[in-house]
Amino acid sequence: MSIEMIRISKKNVTRLVVAAVAAVGVGLVLTIAALSAALASDAIDVGGGTSIDVNGGSGAWTALGLVTVGALAILIGSIAGVVSWLGALLNTWQLEDKVWFASLLALGLLGAGVIAMIAYVVAGPDGTKQSGPHVFSLSLEPRTAQEIRPR
């Protein structure tokens, strides 16, 4: 199977980007909530004789739980972001003009992948709209029983 046979639509790439941003956002909110809960319950004391003092108790466990869930959400969002970037690369590889592919690749490797993906979602072309062989398609949409039945 070659790269030309794999097709991922721009619509699916956009869904992944939105899901990635949402997951990272939720993770950041949960992490900030954990810090707030730790400070409010005196699980963490800032200042005094030592710079930071950590105390045990239910507030500390609540903060640890929130940090753990927040970190997992950020990790999942980051993985979804990388997968969406790879999907955008596969999508733009299908185009005859490789400017979008080269731009996404260069910006992603240089650490500006978020900017590249925002530009692609807003103004990028869909490589699956071109005619050509269609061997494999990745779809996130539900399918009906008639579409699944072998022909």
Tens-digit pLDDT profile for residues 79-88: 999 999 999 9
Q: Residue written as tokens 């800032």? A: 46
pLDDT, the chain, mean: 83
Q: Output the pLDDT for position 7.
A: 73
Residue 62 lies in a domain: yes
What mean pLDDT do residues 140-146 have? Answer: 62
19, burial (CB in 10 Å: exposed 0-12, middle 13-18, buried 19+): middle
Residue 146 lies in a domain: no
Q: Output the pLDDT for position 134.
A: 44
Separation of alpha carbons 131 and 61, rounded Å: 56
Residue 32 lies in a domain: yes
Q: How confident is the model at residue 4 (pLDDT cuts 50, 70, 90)?
A: low
Residue 148 lies in a domain: no
Selected residue with higher pLDDT from 4 and 13:
13
| Paired residues of 28 in beta bridges | none
Separation of alpha carbons 72 and 49, rounded Å: 34
Q: Output the pLDDT for position 108.
A: 94
Q: How many domains does the chain have?
A: 1
Q: Output the pLDDT for position 147.
A: 59
Residue 61 lies in a domain: yes
Separation of alpha carbons 27 and 33, rounded Å: 10
48, burial (CB in 10 Å: exposed 0-12, middle 13-18, buried 19+): exposed
Q: What pLDDT, in 10s, does the model give residues 105-128?
A: 999 999 999 999 999 999 989 887
Host domain of residue 119: 3-139
Separation of alpha carbons 69 and 64, rounded Å: 9
State pTM to two decimals: 0.74
Q: What pLDDT, in 10s, does the model give residues 46-76?
A: 776 667 767 777 778 888 889 999 999 999 9
Separation of alpha carbons 136 and 16, rounded Å: 19
